[in-house]
Structure 1
Amino acid sequence: MNLPRVPAWARSWLRLPDDPTTRPLPAVTVGTGLTVPGWALNAALLVLVPALLVTAAGRAPGLLPTTVAIAVIVCTALLVLRPTPTAAGVTVVVAGVLLLTLGEPGPLGLAVALLAYLVARCTWWAAHVPPRGRVETAALLTGRRRDVVVLGATGLLGALALLASGTTLPGVVLLAALAVAGTAFAALATRR
């Protein structure tokens, strides 16, 4: 409530509250836990992006090493210098194209899927934390349960797909279908 300016003697006689502009501000202390510098997120991208693309290229017989090297250099530079979700999406698509050149990726495709998820998450944080800034590790680990569910479901789905490929056993096909439904449910689940 804004009160008109009243002299101090009148305030004490009328028992009016003190003028809030003359009161000292309370002392406030803020503590933080362990933090990670923003440049470390870019450094993580510097390691994760080449790992993703080299894993995706794998043992592709038709790919020239220079093609893979150019893709690694361009995508890594793009994500380290300008970490945006679009740049992460382009990198994941390039990894998918490199993976498709293998024909039958097998377990390599599973590793690429897990690395692609880590690249996307790390890119999101690198986009939101400036290089000179810091982020608390508790904030970095906020979605760890969801991440473990998504990565575990992806691994399970990939393993079931590998088992179900080339088989006509109804039990394995049913298990793979249930894994797809479970992964979709986990991805679409909302907080209570």
Structure 2
Amino acid sequence: MSGRQGIGIKIHDLIERMESVIEQARSEHAGMSSKELATAAIRYYLLRFHLHTEVVFDLQQATEITGNTGVYVMYAHARAVSILNKARELGIQPSTIPNMPELKMEEVALLRHLSAWQETLYSASRQLAPHILCGYAYELAGLFNNFYANCPILKADDQHRTFRVWLTSKFQAILGDALHVLGLPAPERM
């Protein structure tokens, strides 16, 4: 695609191509449809660049499950929802701030980044810069995935489990808010 050369693609055709790429890569079809994933992936891919940046759209890169993509960020949200649903089945409610146990560095990093949400949102809105929100959401998803990999949530002792479920609920709420502001779905399943 090149605007200067008069070569372009209609959004309908782009969505169909993205949908086809996603459909081929999916192993499970529960949750969002491939078309919903395609439109969300396109939106995120375009929003993650500074407004004055020339964008070369890469279909394959936009649909990756890893890296700075909408699919990666939405998947982190769906993972958090799944954990919270399992916690509810076990009778763990993340409604109040629990006593804080000694924190691991992954928990501290996630807490710090969560605390920056309001300031990041304000800054992005003042600068009319949605790429700042994409960067925040991507880093937040990465910190959550690191926390998830290194800190057992549902298999931890009672004190840590209660805190980690609470932390997961805060992550899910703030990432959901970020996705909403970006105009993306906050899926419960992918």
Name the TM-score, length of structure 1 as normaliser. 0.31
TM (normalized to structure 2)? 0.31
Structure with greater Cα Rg: 1
Which protein, 1 or 2, shows the higher relative CO under an 8 Å CA cutoff with sep ≥ 6? 2
